[in-house]
Structure formats: structure tokens, C-alpha cells
Amino acid sequence: MGDVGMVLKTVILIVCMAFFPVMQASGHSGEKGMALLENNAIRDNAGRIVCVERPFTRIISLYSAHTENLFDLGLDDEVIGVSRIDASMERAKGIKTFSAQNSPERFIAARPDLVIVRPMLDNGYPRLMEQLSGFGIQVVSLQPGNVEEMMTYWLILGRLSGREGEAGEMVARFEKGIAEAGAIAQGIDMKKTVYFEAIHIRFKTFSPGSMPLFALEYAGGINAAEDARPSRGTNIADFGMERLLARGEEIDVYLAQTGHMNQPSVAAIKNVPGYSAIRAVREGNIYIVDEAIVSRPTLRLLEGIEAIRKILYEQ
């Protein structure tokens, strides 16, 4: 980062500590959970407080949602690194790829001023995060757990990158989209009951408040597993085959997400022993939806709502 950069970072940290006395030597506050704070500061999921003295301009993103949202904010040259998964994005082509399994030297050589991760990587690779911070690289861990947090998350990305106006426009566009979707959903007289699969082989669905179930609600669907409870504080919920089959006759549509966590097929779902007790399966009302439009905290959640509505009511 250079001597001048390190001195500037130290000065900013001292000023930040004056405003936020609860911050500890590690750079973490006593509270966790992302938030916009006063004095142009933010708090990430791990409790780090960052005073944004000036926008970060050399950003490495290690989560697809971060990458997509940064692009939606209008960033281009500022995104200097992405995850290997993101390399398939059209706008990410040619951008250097990084992994939490890389050495800190690979990151340092790219001269980033900000590395954005999500809690899974932050918790899984604490040594790397400490090393990057030690070299003056700001690490921020973000992942919203619900739609309300998602909009705060966009505003945080906007503050970090100097694109707060664009972030506000994203929020406004989303709010307009869900208002329109909600109006359509209210006009549906005979709403369909849906079992929304999260992980096929473990009979897991989504927990109340999760983004996929938000998309289902605004598409006009009724969650068949509304009493499912979160598994280890995630948006995934244990449900079990016994409860699923017990409600089989109530289920109009069997919906499953596909992505890195879950890669089912209609045939695989149809051939599960005992699934003939599920009316949707017997009648062939099994559909697959891309997790990128129902589970990621991006504007494409609006696409997910529309895709589910078409599955439910236009097939």
C-alpha cells in the first residue's frame, strides 16, 4: 500500500475510533450485523466498523452477489478481482480471479484497497483475513439474511464505493417492482400451495423470512412448509420426508432451486421413493428455478418473482 497509504489508513482509524469508542483493537465493534452508521461509516456482519473517508477504488469481490451488485452500481475498472465462479459473468471476463485458498501474496500483489467476502469465508479463513488486514487491506464481510437487510446491504456497497446515489436508485427500483408484484398477487383468487426445495438429498426447504420464500409470496404462492425452522441460523430449514409426505395432497406445485448447493432434476424428484404421495409430483407439476434469481441478494430477485408467478399461473 506504500508508507503514505499506511499513514492515511492509521489517521482514518484514529478518527473512526474517536467516533466509535466501542471499537476494539481488532477493528471489530461490540455489535454484529451489517448497518449504516453515522459519520460515513458502516458495520459489517462480523462487527468491523469502517469509516469511509473516500471511496474504495480497487476492489476484490469473493461472492457472486457482491460482484453483480457492484456492476449494477456502475463500477467497472474499480473491480479488479472476482471469484472463480464469477469469471463466467460477461462483465467479469478478463478480470483476475481469486480464492480464499490463495496465498495472501497473490492478493497483495494486486494492490486492492478492499476485499469483500461473506461470513462463510470470513469465518472459514480467519488467518487470511488477518493477514490482509495486517497489510493495510480493508476486509468487509457482508451477507443479508432477508429482504430488508438486502436493501441496507446495497446502501452499504454504495457507501463503500462512492455510489450511494446509484444504491438508492437500486432500492427504489426494487421497492417499485415488489409493489407491482404484490398488486398482481393480491388479485389471484385461487392461490397455489408450493413446497420449495432448498437441498434435495436432505429434504430441506427454506426458513421463514428467506429471500426464496419472499419471492414465492410475492409471486402469489402459499408456502406448504411455513412451520419449518432454520437450520443453524441459516435460511435453510429442516423439514424431513415424513412431514413432507404427510402434506402431499395439499401441495399443488413442487418447486426446487438449482445451483451450487442443489442440482436436482425433474426426473430425480419424481423418482424419489414415496414421493407419489405428493400430488404435485403425481400430476407432473415439478419445476426447477435458478438459485441466482431467488436466493441471491441482487435486483434479479424481481426476475425470480416473475419466473415463479409464471410457473404457478401461466403453465
pLDDT band at 234 (very low <50, low <70, confident <90, very high): confident
Asked if 159 and 209 sit in the same domain, the reply is no
Asked if 225 and 118 sit in the same domain, the reply is no
Q: What is the CATH number of the domain that holds 81?
A: 3.40.50.1980
DSSP letter string over 227-255?
Answer: T-EESTTSSEEE--HHHHHHTGGG-SEEE
Residue 2 has pLDDT above 70, yes or no: no
The domain tally of the chain equals 2
Q: Which one is predicted more confidently, 315 or 304?
A: 304
Domain boundary among 140, 168, 196: 168
Asked if 118 and 159 sit in the same domain, the reply is yes
Q: Which domain holds residue 28?
A: 3-168
Asked if 195 and 303 sit in the same domain, the reply is yes
**Cα separation of 161 and 181, whole Å?**
30
Q: CB of 69 within 8 A of CB of 155? A: no
Q: Are β-strands 236-238 and 204-206 bridged in parallel, bridged antiparallel, or unpaired?
A: antiparallel
pLDDT band at 16 (very low <50, low <70, confident <90, very high): low
Asked if 221 and 280 sit in the same domain, the reply is yes
Asked if 127 and 198 sit in the same domain, the reply is no
* Phi then psi dihedrals of residue 62, to 5 deg: -110, 25
pTM of the model: 0.89
pLDDT value at residue 277: 97
Q: CB of 314 within 8 A of CB of 231? A: no
Asked if 156 and 245 sit in the same domain, the reply is no
pLDDT value at residue 233: 67
Give the pLDDT mean for 171-183: 98
Tell me if residue 131 falls in helix, strand or coil. helix
pLDDT value at residue 123: 95
Asked if 151 and 79 sit in the same domain, the reply is yes
Q: Is 182 inside a domain boundary?
A: no
Asked if 83 and 22 sit in the same domain, the reply is yes
Nearest to 115 by CA among 96, 139, 93: 139
Q: Is 173 inside a domain boundary?
A: no
Q: Is 236 inside a domain boundary?
A: yes
Give the pLDDT mean for 117-124: 96
Q: CB of 224 within 8 A of CB of 193? A: yes
Q: Is 174 inside a domain boundary?
A: no
Residue 157 has pLDDT above 60, yes or no: yes
